[in-house]
Amino acid sequence: MVDYPKISDIVICKVTKINDYGVFASLLEYDDTEAFVHVSQVSSTWVKNIHNHVKLNQIRAGKVLHIDTYKNQIDLSFNRVTSAEEKRKISDYRLFKRAQSLLSAVAKELSLSEDEVWRDVAEPILEQDLSLYTGFINILKNGIKHYPEINKKYETKLLDILNRSITIKDKKLTALLDISSPLENGVEVIKKGLAKILADYPEAEIVYVSSGKFELSVTAKDYKLASKKMQEIISSLEKTFKGSNFKATVQEKSKN
């Protein structure tokens, strides 16, 4: 039984044939079912030469205009999909395919069928999240416990494959520290206090800015964790420099 998209769905397709009156394409999410894009739906501008607007084997996003299940015919439009929609759809599709390949690797290394791994790993993720790849990111950040329905037998191998295959860019938060001490050995007190923080919190970095001013930065896998750790460090600094003049100003999120 052929699985069809719905009218107005945006689908991913691969251009398989181009002629003067339109484009034939295979729907990559629907078992390569063939679809057709009339020349009038290829571009929002006048099409003098169709080959200037579409290329053979090109991956495109199209909007479903018409479905005739009796004739097994699907009509698409390229010009009714915005550039932003197309980029997002293609990106989502590529991430999905990558997630599928990672599940296949898990199945192979555990000598299990792909259907079994899909049922045991993918389905619990997709019950909570719209994206399988997003689920994998959540597992890397929070562990397999983020999805209680996933059997523990997958934990070691799944984490191993995800850690080898997906790199999560660390997020950084910074704070400007303003510290002064009324004590004669105030400079030494400040140095020792900051050194203790660096020893207790390996994810922290402190850089001297100017007299009495330092920049504290905290790196973590996401802003939530970075923010939590930043507040923890600032609380520790407040205790360390109790009796001194201490002020911490957290900066806006960095772009990295």
- Is residue 97 within a helix (H) or strand (E), and if so which, with residue range? helix 83-109
Strands annotated E in 102-236? 171-180, 204-210, 213-220
The pLDDT value recorded for residue 227 is: 86
Provide the token pair at 122. 């993918």
The pLDDT value recorded for residue 254 is: 46
The pLDDT value recorded for residue 240 is: 85
The pLDDT value recorded for residue 252 is: 56
Yes or no: say if 218 and 229 are a contact pair by the CB < 8 Å rule.
yes
Q: Which of 85, 108, 102, 113 is nearest to 10 (CA)?
A: 85
The pLDDT value recorded for residue 250 is: 82
- List, run by run, the mean pLDDT of 10-residue segments along the chain (256 residues): 88 96 95 95 93 95 94 94 91 92 95 95 92 91 90 93 85 87 84 87 86 87 81 89 82 52
| Domains of the chain with CATH codes | 10-81 (2.40.50.140), 85-165 (1.10.150.190), 171-250 (3.30.70.1130)
Characterize the bridge pairing of strands 73-77 and 33-38.
parallel
The pLDDT value recorded for residue 256 is: 44
The pLDDT value recorded for residue 99 is: 95
**pTM (two decimals):** 0.62
d(CA 142, CA 145): 7
